[in-house]
Structure 1
Amino acid sequence: MVRWDIVPATCIQNSYIINIYDEGYCIPPHIDHHDFVRTFCMVSFMNKSNILFGKEIYIVGPGEFRETVEIPLPVGSILVLKGNGADVAKQCIPKVRHRRVSITFHRMDDNKAPYGFQPDPKLE
């Protein structure tokens, strides 16, 4: 992703979150922890979905939310989060209609790494 200029070289990822959604699953409103360096990105697989953003996201029902902005995430898409989209706006994935997988690529701030953590040179 660095080679394709999707993320800057200062944000080479060293942490990954794999979300596997079965039909009806969702991710509630949240802001990713600030121990992760901005910019980070999410890659979508298997089925399309939408991601919702807003300073306030209201829960309407189980897996249903009211938001300010809704962005489609087609299969194979890469969503890059930085600035207010990563630091201020909450994000959530409403309940999905079909099984879906996403991988979020983060970089842990080197100053926030767990005590005694040694990066794997092969991954660096």
Structure 2
Amino acid sequence: MVQWGIIPADCIPNSCIINICEEGDCIPPHIDHQDFVRSLCTVSLISESSILFGTNIEIIVPGEFRGSVQISLPRGSVLILKGNGADIEKHCIPGVRHRRVSITFRRMSDDKTPYGFQPDLELKELQSYEL
């Protein structure tokens, strides 16, 4: 992702969240914790869904929200969150119509790494794959 210019070299992920959503599942309004360096990178898989943004996202009923901006996340898309979109605006995924998987790649700030944390040596030695 760095080689393709999707994420900056100073933000190489060291963690991720995998969300597996079945039909009707949602991700409630939130702002990702400040311990994670901006930019955040989310890859959408399997099916399209929407994402809503807003400083005040209204919960209509469970899984249904109203925000200031709604954009589509097509299957295979990559969303980069940074600036106000990551720090001020909340975001959420309304109830999905079809099964969906998303992977959000994040980098925890080095000074926030848990005490005694030891990275997996096998993962540390991974080399990038040349296309």
TM-score (norm 2): 0.92
User: C-alpha distance in 1, partners of 2:51/2:125?
Assistant: 33
Contact kept? 1:14, 1:123, Cα under 8 Å: no
Matches of 1:59 and 1:4 in 2, distance apart? 37
Percent identity between the aligned chains?
67
1:90-101 aligned within 5 A: 90-101=90-101
**Residues 72-91 of structure 1 correspond to what in structure 2 (within 5 A)?**
72-91=72-91
Residue 24 (structure 1) shift: 0.3
Aligned to 1:68: 68
Larger-gyration structure (1/2): 2
- What is aligned with 2:36? 36
Instruction: Confirm or deny: 8 A CA contact 1:52 1:91 kept in the other structure.
Output: yes
Equivalent pairs, count: 124
Unpaired runs of 5+ in structure 1? none
The code of the aligned residue for 2:8 comes to P
Tell me what 1:19 maps to. Answer: 19
State the secondary structure of the residue aligned to 1:86.
Answer: helix
Alpha-carbon distance in structure 1 between the residues aligned to 2:23 and 2:102: 14
Rounded Cα–Cα distance in structure 1 between residues aligned with 2:55 and 2:62: 20
Deviation at 1:63, TM superposition (A): 0.2
- The residue identity in structure 1 corresponding to 2:125 is K
Aligned residue identity for 1:16: C
Partner letter of residue 46 of structure 1? I
Distance 1:101 1:93 in 2: 12
After TM superposition, where is structure 1 displaced by more than 6 Å over at least 4 residues in a row? Answer: none
Q: Distance in 2 between matches of 1:71 and 1:122?
A: 38
Give the C-alpha shift of residue 123 in structure 1.
5.1
Counterpart of 1:48? Answer: 48
1:79-107 per-residue CA deviation (whole Å, 9 max, x = no partner) reads 00000000000000000010000000000
Q: Deviation string for 1:13-35 (max 9, x for gaps)?
A: 00010000000000000000010
